[in-house]
Amino acid sequence: HVQLVESGGGSVQAGGSLRLSCAASGYTYSSNCIAWFRQVPGQERAEVAAISTGSGTTYYVRSVQGRFTISRDKAKKMVYLQMNDLTPADTAMYFCAGASDGEACTYPFRERDFLYWGQGTQVTVS
C-alpha cells in the first residue's frame, strides 16, 4: 500500500529557507500526482504545490509562487518542497499527499483529489 513520510520541518526566522522531503512508497506506476498541503489549527487544509512525478509538471498556489519550488527525484521516489523567503504566514503543519496510482495532477488540485496522506511536519516561521 502507498505510504508517504514527510521530513524536514523546523523553526526558521522570517526570510529563511527550509526544504521539506516526502518519501513515497508503494505506488505501482512511476507517474503519480504528489502534492503539498498545509494546515493551521482551526483552519482547513490548504493547497500549496503539486507535481506530476512522470512529466515533472508543477502547479503552485499564488501565495507561494516564486518562493516555493516543488521537485521530484524519480529514482529515489522522493518529492521535495524548497521554501525560500519564508514569512510568519507560512507557519503551518505541512502534509504530503498522493493521488490514485498512475493519476497525473490537474489544476486546480483539491484535498478531495488525494487518497494518501503523510503524518505532517511542522514549519514555524518567526
Residues 31-78: tens digit of each pLDDT: 899 999 999 999 999 999 999 999 999 999 999 999 999 999 999 999
DSSP for 36-88, please give it. EEEE-TTS--EEEEEEETTT--EEE-TTTTTTEEEEEETTTTEEEEEE-S--G
Q: What is the pLDDT of residue 81?
A: 98
How many percent of the chain have pLDDT more than 70? Answer: 100
Q: Average pLDDT in the 80-86 region?
A: 98
Question: Is a pLDDT exceeding 90 seen at residue 12?
Answer: yes
User: Measuring CA to CA, how many Å separate 111 from each of 3, 36, 49, 52, 56?
Assistant: 17, 10, 12, 16, 20
Given a contact cutoff of 8 angstroms between Cβ atoms, the answer to whether 20 and 123 are in contact is yes
Cα–Cα distance between 84 and 95 in angstroms, integer? Answer: 18
Q: Average pLDDT in the 5-22 region?
A: 98
Q: What is the pLDDT of residue 30?
A: 83
Backbone angles phi, psi at 31, to 5 degrees: -115, 120
Q: What is the pLDDT of residue 28?
A: 85
Beta bridge partners of residue 3, listed in sequence order: 25
Question: Is a pLDDT exceeding 90 seen at residue 116?
Answer: yes
Contacts of residue 82, defined as CB under 8 A and 6 or more positions apart, other chains included, come to 17, 19, 68, 69, 70, 71
Q: Average pLDDT in the 73-100 region?
A: 97
Q: What is the pLDDT of residue 22?
A: 98
Q: What is the pLDDT of residue 40?
A: 97
